[in-house]
């Protein structure tokens, strides 16, 4: 499966978890529930994946940043449960994409009245 197909499945899992819990819980609860939902669907899912940071071909940090969820080593998911997403949250996903070389990331804020308006697709190389 490629990124676009995966993002469709991931969105379905996000909707299912949101409809089950609603807004207002801690990010970790949503993370674990999405992880389990995607596992049930046969996806290769990892949580808290370290992002290696290099400078001039030298590793300078191996554990400073973590991807909330990585699906099939192709799509990263960054979860938030905040009053309002800030520009820095969007930039964070773009930076993770650049550092990992991945093409697609999803930024999701679960503290929203409508989850469909709180899922943001980020593509490496595009703002």
Average pLDDT for residues 115-124, to the nearest whole number? 95
Q: Count of CB atoms within 10 A of residue 23's CB? A: 15
Q: What is the pLDDT of residues 24-68, one digit of tens each?
A: 999 999 999 999 999 999 999 999 999 888 888 888 888 778 999
d(CA 87, CA 67): 18
pTM of the model: 0.91
Report all structural domains of the chain as residue ranges with CATH numbers, in order of start. Answer: 3-123 (3.90.1570)
Q: Is the dihedral of CA 91, 51, 73, 32 positive or negative?
A: negative
Q: Count of CB atoms within 10 A of residue 52's CB? A: 13
DSSP secondary structure code for residue 84 in this structure: S
d(CA 55, CA 48): 22
Q: What is the pLDDT of residues 94-112, one digit of tens each?
A: 999 999 999 999 999 999 9
């Amino acid at each position: 499966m490629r990124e676009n197909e995966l993002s469709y499945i991931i969105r379905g899992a996000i909707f299912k978890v949101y409809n089950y819990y609603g807004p207002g819980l801690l990010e970790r609860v949503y993370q674990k529930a999405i992880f389990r939902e995607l596992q049930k669907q046969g996806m290769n899912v990892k949580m808290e994946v370290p992002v290696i940071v290099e400078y001039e071909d030298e590793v300078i940090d191996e554990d400073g940043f973590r991807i909330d969820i990585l699906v099939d080593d192709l799509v990263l998911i960054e979860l938030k449960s905040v009053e309002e997403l800030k520009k820095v949250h969007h930039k964070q996903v773009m930076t993770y994409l650049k550092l990992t070389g991945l093409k697609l990331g999803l930024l999701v804020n679960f503290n929203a009245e409508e989850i469909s308006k709180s899922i943001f697709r980020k593509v490496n190389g595009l703002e």
